[in-house]
Copies of this chain bind each other. A is one copy, B any other.
Amino acid sequence: MENGHAKNRVAVIGSGNWGCVASRLIASNTTKLPSFYDEVRMWVFEEVLLTGNKLSESINQVNENCKYLPGIKLGANVIADPDLENAVKDANMLVFVTPHQFVEGICKKLVGKLRLGAQAISLIKGMEVKTEGPCMISKLITDILGINCCVLMGANIASEIAVEKFSEATIGYKKDKEVAIRWAKLFTMPYFLVSIVEDIEGVELCGTLKNVVAIAAGLVDGLDMGNNTKAAIMRIGLREMCAFSKLLFPSVRDNTFFESCGVADLITTCLGGRNRRVAEAFARNGGKRSFDELEAEMLHGQKLQGVSTAKEVYEVLTYRGWQELFPLLSTVHEICIGQLPPTSIVEYRIH
């Protein structure tokens, strides 16, 4: 019990790589925190495995997701459930961690099915930046379900957190600090430190815009320009992420970009990550093979978020006449579509 309120019950909507790791973190904490029921229900988009078993049944039998997070026990109190409504019906804390294109459909199915006073948090990176304004995933959830929604972002490579390597995350919230603290308690582990900031837009935009900067960093790698140039490009990228976010939402705060969701996630993404990797290959080929072609070859059907985000951001910049203010963000798109050569990434001037 916390502050005399009813005990909290958590449901995780999604059971991919990050969804399983999140469930594992949460399940470890719910057994320790008296204000939470132990059980964590995890909604599974049902699949039939090659063995003929159903994914949800397999998870409940071996306490592992053998397809998306093999070798990692989730915790005995994680219960896989293929029935969305059933998974969430008793929960007052909902964790959204699905691919971003499924959020809208899932939310529509849940309208009128949630407990009174339910709270949500989104772990989903990849909002779209539309000309009429960014389509924040937290806002989509709030608008459809009429509930408050925080976000959790950061330098979070699921496979590294799964084996308990030290890292951090940032929770962005809007007004209700008590709820943000409750979410932070639910995720925090000695190897996973969570901070909270009252800047939901800043936190969520970081998780998307960093992919554009990762393309720039990958181009520098492919041009063999060295760490000095790469560091300069990452810095300029961070500055433009911050300035762009502030123009879109004047409430966005500089300090958010010093949090895990900002500089740390940017560093991780620019050191590893597929956006960086494909952009490196693009530059090594002198821009002669398109991103589409390289993506198909290197990512087996997955699409690069950075390329599409760069295009969306570019549309906003041209529509609003902000292009000159964001030379790096603009240049990345112009290189992606073959309008400029890869070497242009280091040839613009800072305004």
Contact = CB atoms under 8 A, between A and B. Distances in A.
Contacts of A259: 235
A106 B208 CA distance: 51
Given A160-B226, A238-B258, A258-B238, A231 B191 contact: no
Contact of A166 (B193, B225, B260): B225
Contacts of A165: 225-226, 228-229, 346
A300 interface: no
Contact of A264 (B156, B191, B235): B235
A30 B7 CA distance: 72
Contacts of A234: 263-264, 267
A136 interface: no
Contacts of A167: 228-229, 231-232
A255 B258 contact: no
Interface centre among A155, A228, A347 (most CB of B within 10 A): A228
Interface in A251-266: 254-255, 257-260, 263-266
A193 to B, nearest CB: 5
Interface centre among A226, A232, A233, A258 (most CB of B within 10 A): A232
B258 A226 contact: no
Contacts of A114: none
Nearest to A233: B166
B193 A157 contact: no
A228 B157 contact: yes
A260 B312 CA distance: 28
A185 B320 CA distance: 32
A227 interface: yes
Interface centre among A225, A233, A235, A350 (most CB of B within 10 A): A235
A161 interface: yes
Interface centre among A226, A231, A349 (most CB of B within 10 A): A231
A191 B220 CA distance: 14
- Majority SS at the chain A contact face: helix
B166 A346 contact: yes
Contact of A235 (B225, B263, B271): B263
Contact of A155 (B166, B228, B239): B228
A131 interface: no
B155 A231 contact: yes
A29 interface: no
Contacts of A346: 165-166, 191
A233 to B, nearest CB: 8
Contact of A229 (B166, B232, B235): B166
Nearest to A226: B160
A257 B156 CA distance: 23
A350 B258 contact: no
Given A168-B232, A254-B258, 8 more contacts: A155-B228, A160-B226, A165-B225, A165-B226, A165-B228, A231-B263, A235-B267, A257-B258
14 contacts: A157-B227, A160-B227, A166-B233, A168-B232, A168-B235, A168-B236, A227-B267, A231-B267, A231-B271, A232-B264, A234-B263, A235-B263, A235-B267, A263-B263
